[in-house]
Amino acid sequence: MKMTLLYIVLAAVMTACGSTGTSTASDSTADSATTTTSTAQPVFDGNAAYQLARQQCEFGPRVPATPAHAKCADWLTSTLEACCDTVMVQTGTVQTATEGKLGIKNIIGTINPQASQRLLLLAHWDTRPWADNDPNAANHDKPVMGANDGASGVAVLLQLARQLKESGTTLGIDIVLVDAEDMGVNDNEDSWALGAQYWAQHPHVAGYKPLFGILLDMVGSEDATFTREYYSMQYANGFVDLVWKCAAGSHFINAQGGAVTDDHIFINRAGIPCIDIIDMRADSETGFCPEWHTVDDTIGNISPATLAEVGQTLLNVIAQLEQ
């Protein structure tokens, strides 16, 4: 029965983004933040999203159990409160691989709580305590600023919520900002995505069952390549088709990409088909952008135009699911 509903939704929207003229064209300037559309579709504001990424970075690295993390949690909560119908902060305790037990906060904003057709949107808001991929070993114990790896996905979701408050939507939307994604260690899959694992075991609503989930991770680089991530295709290939059809620019590449142990793995295991829009690089040793887990993951490497492309893609997907 559940599969039938998903099939009907996908069948109804599969051809939609491609056939309704919502293909987009970027402004001619190189770092333009504004994406224009050929329909009456609302336009996502990449400059506003950039400011939201910058504001997160102004707290400093948002490493769990630090004052910057606590202050940013309060700011995220009040920022969501301004544009969601309800906001809750889910607190819990998780076991880390290297730091013992840790208190976490997942911050959850809900739009249209009464709607039965729902979309789950996720991004991690914490930042990694160690820049352990930095080319300079002296930086390996320093925290990562996480302008891309943390702030970028959150910024797009905050701006999206603002714009949906303005435009209205009939869809139910749940924005889950998950904590403690980035405290993992090599060769231990379960040491990553601790906030998402906690949420998957303790959903904020009993029996919660959205149509789909979309995770954003590292969506701010000027050179981003968003290929079809491996586990997203394993768990939710039809939805990957839809999202890439709704893609609002050339950073989205309709080809299979690499696999990543990210928050979406645990959401899928909990029975919610969830995809990951993540910048993966076929030509890099790590599989990610050069700033990944280095001290160079700073706001200077964030492009308003890339944020705009990702946000516009989400607006296009939402428009299709509304129909």
Strand order, beta sheet including 118-124: 86-95, 101-111, 172-178, 118-124, 212-217, 274-278
Per CB under 6 A, 279 contacts ligand 1BN: no
Binding mask 183-222 for ligand 1BN (x = CB under 6 A): -x-------x------------------------x-----
Cβ-based nearer residue to ligand 1BN, 44 or 231: 231
* Count of residues in contact with ligand 1BN, rule CB under 6 A: 8
Spatial contact of 102 and 183, defined as CB atoms under 8 Å apart: yes
Size of the site for Zn ion (CB under 5 A): 3
Q: Which residues contact 67 (CB under 8 A, 6 or more apart)?
A: none
**Choice from 60, 261, 290, 298 touching ligand 1BN (CB under 6 A):** 261
Q: Is 262 in the site for ligand 1BN (CB under 6 A)?
A: yes
Is 109 an interacting residue with respect to ligand 1BN (CB under 6 A)? no
Judged on CB neighbours under 10 Å (0-12, 13-18, 19+), 146 is buried
Residue in the structure block whose two tokens are 């969830």:
274
Inter-residue contact 126 to 180 (CB < 8 Å)? yes
The window from 131-139, 224-232, 236-244, 259-267 that contacts ligand 1BN (CB under 6 A) reads 259-267
Stretch that binds ligand 1BN, among 59-67, 158-166, 256-264, 296-304 (CB under 6 A): 256-264
Provide the sign of the torsion angle of the four alpha carbons 252, 257, 263, 266, taken in this order. positive
Residue 174 engages Zn ion in binding (rule: CB under 5 A):
no
| Both structure tokens of 56 | 């997160």
| Residues whose CB is less than 8 angstroms from the CB of residue 232 and which lie 6 or more positions away in sequence, other chains included | 239, 240, 264, 274, 275, 276
The reply to whether 290 sits near ligand 1BN by the rule CB under 6 A is no
Select the binding partner of residue 262 from ligand 1BN, Zn ion, none (C-beta < 5 to 8 A, by kind). Answer: ligand 1BN
Looking at residues 132 to 161 of the shown chain, list those that interact with Zn ion (rule: CB under 5 A). Answer: 149
Summarize as ranges the residues that interact with Zn ion (CB under 5 A). Answer: 128, 149, 182
